[in-house]
Structure 1
Amino acid sequence: MKFSERMGYTKPKDIIQYESIDDDLKNDLWNLYYGNYLEAAEYQDIYLLPEDFKTYFKKLWTDFLKKKINEIPEQAYTFIKLVETDFFDNTKAWYFIYDLIEYTFNTFDFRTIGDKSYFNHQIESQLNSILEKNLSGYRFINTQFVPITNDQEIASINEASKNNTEYKTVSAHFNKALELLSDKKTPDFSNSIKESISAIESYFKVFFNNPNIKFGDALNNLEHKHALDKQIKESINKIYAFSNNVGAIRHALKPGETSDKITLAEAKYMLVTCSAFINYLKETATN
């Protein structure tokens, strides 16, 4: 805590930023974005830049900013100033900045960097430190901003979403659940829950090498042959029942039902719980 906050001269932040980005957070995000993606190119002609920078600038101009290619500035300095103006334009929706950083992270092809995965890991780490420090309600997980704030939750989802050959379908379901949960314009909480549950079903199919195995049969097998704890089994069964009984998750709406009863809190809980269960199985069921 700062001196001014300890002494009561200023008030520390105590409000999670879910649908806003204050000036402190905006400045920190700009500094990270500018320092890692723009600064090295600032005083050069765009068409003389290395291919990775040149390609990114063109894509950002036409694909993200939706501007005419023949109007792209010749100087990178001018280009960056225009992007900066948009970045700090208070008339734009608050999520423009998150959209821009997501787009950049997933588009910029650093051909001049030897270990791209290490660089991206560093960016993720820096981003999450900034988000945590500024009480953002989001964290950067698997290339996108997700409305999750707990370090243990992030670690659980990251571990369960690891894309290995054997369980790539599990990873695909979790990544889709994240995508649906984190869509800042039109989040789809019902289908996010569906994808979280489908990740468990997919795990069962691979683990038992049976594409037709039923959810309950898989749990019974895990309990009797792989020492799955009975209480954990029952809790997962209840989660599965929830996804089957609440409208528009795993079946069509019943008369009088609406899908808007599903909330962010429920979708987030399901994502975290399902990922934690997968990680538990990986640690115990294979022994």
Structure 2
Amino acid sequence: MRFSERYGYKPVREIIQKDSIDQELRNALWSLYDRIIFANFYNSVSPSSSRILGSNLEGFFLNIYMNIFHKPTDEIPFFISEGISKLKKYFMSCQWYEVYDFIEVTLDNYPNIRYNLNSFSNSINLCLEKYLSAYRLSNSNILEITSEEEIQSIEDALENTNQYSGVQLHLNQALKLISDRQNPDYRNSIKESISAVESICKVITQDDKATLGKALKIIEDRHDIHPALKNSLNQLYGYTSDGDGIRHAMLEESNLSYIDAKFMLVSCTNFINYLIEKTK
């Protein structure tokens, strides 16, 4: 992770790729085409002298030209090497959403190769998760898993806590741990998210030693917070503190995922934003 990401100088929506695809993700997705789809063709025939028409990639190219390029199929290059070159040029320069269109169209007519459709789809999803795309592939369709509202909540919390360095420290650390592409730490990201809530509660109650439960009771009494809202956060806190929770010294590896850590980060930033507005 780069300096700008570690210390919160890079916008959240660039870390979580909502309306964009950075070059690293684009390169990784294209590599899947190269290694899974095109490499199978190369294994048996020399690419410089082999033809597209009549090959196991003919249907794939027909589909791309008709549904992505919207060009007549007689413009499909004769040789496989030239055809792949044209596809790569498009893939590397098209709009971010057109990359996802390209993937969906690929799955509409997946080439007849030894790697099955599920293997390719799983590889795409692993790639999207690694590079923090806000989308996932499900049943051959690209679906949004991180909404604009969720990203806005995180951004608002970072902006609202400018004057509270302790809260910001926890939020930035939670974001850093969840977005580390090489070694994400979902367990400690969740811990940092809930610690950010504890920190803002201590600021509001002006009690550095208050537990979250005690702080929430004080805030509830002083600022008329609905009991159901307080209880929901207590339950969230309990999730991180019970026998299988994040803070418990576990000997076994947890099944925590990006979705778990993102849920906690968004939930905690929502609550932080609420508390700051409620207690102004």
TM-score normalised according to structure 1 size: 0.49
- 3-state secondary structure, aligned to 2:181: coil
- 1:151 matched to 2:148: yes
- 1:242 matched to 2:239: yes
Identity of matched residues, %: 36
Separation of aligned partners in 1, 2:175 and 2:157: 12
Separation of aligned partners in 2, 1:181 and 1:164: 20
Provide Cα deviations, 1:64-97, integer angstroms capped at 9, x if missing partner: xxxxxxxxxxxxxxxxxxxxxx899838xx9xxx
Separation of aligned partners in 1, 2:176 and 2:165: 16
Equivalent residue number for residue 31 of structure 2: 90
- CA drift of 1:241 comes to 0.4
- CA drift of 1:283 comes to 1.4
Equivalent residue number for residue 270 of structure 1: 264
Separation of aligned partners in 2, 1:284 and 1:203: 12
Equivalent residue number for residue 174 of structure 2: 177
Equivalent runs, 1:149-228 vs 2, <5 Å:
149-162=146-159, 164-228=161-225
Separation of aligned partners in 2, 1:276 and 1:238: 15
Separation of aligned partners in 2, 1:174 and 1:157: 9
| Residues 133 and 238 of structure 1: CA distance in aligned 2, closer, same or farther (over 3 Å) | farther
Give the ranges of 4+ consecutive aligned residues of structure 1 lying more than 4 Å apart after TM superposition: 86-89, 144-148
- CA drift of 1:165 comes to 4.8
| Residues 247 and 87 of structure 1: CA distance in aligned 2, closer, same or farther (over 3 Å) | closer
Separation of aligned partners in 2, 1:88 and 1:270: 28
Q: Counterpart of 2:278 in structure 1: which amino acid?
A: T
Separation of aligned partners in 1, 2:228 and 2:267: 14
| Residues 185 and 226 of structure 1: CA distance in aligned 2, closer, same or farther (over 3 Å) | same
- CA drift of 1:166 comes to 2.6
- CA drift of 1:212 comes to 0.4
| Residues 146 and 230 of structure 1: CA distance in aligned 2, closer, same or farther (over 3 Å) | farther
- 3-state secondary structure, aligned to 1:249: coil
Separation of aligned partners in 2, 1:220 and 1:173: 22
Residue ranges of structure 2 left out of the alignment (5+ in a row): 1-16, 36-94, 102-123, 126-130, 135-144
Q: Counterpart of 2:247 in structure 1: which amino acid?
A: R
Q: 1:189–1:263: 8 Å Cα contact kept in structure 2? A: yes
Query: Quick one: higher RCO (CA 8 Å, sep 6+), 1 or 2?
Result: 2
Provide Cα deviations, 1:151-179, integer angstroms capped at 9, x if missing partner: 00000000111275531211111111111
- For the aligned residue pairs, the C-alpha RMSD in angstroms reads 3.9
Residue ranges of structure 1 left out of the alignment (5+ in a row): 1-20, 34-85, 95-128, 138-143
Q: 1:248–1:259: 8 Å Cα contact kept in structure 2? A: no
Aligned residue pairs total: 167
Provide Cα deviations, 1:191-226, integer angstroms capped at 9, x if missing partner: 010000000011112122221011111111111111
- 3-state secondary structure, aligned to 1:245: coil
Q: Counterpart of 2:180 in structure 1: which amino acid?
A: D
TM-score normalised according to structure 2 size: 0.50
Bigger drift between 208-217 and 152-161 goes to 208-217
Separation of aligned partners in 2, 1:173 and 1:186: 18
Equivalent residue number for residue 284 of structure 1: 278
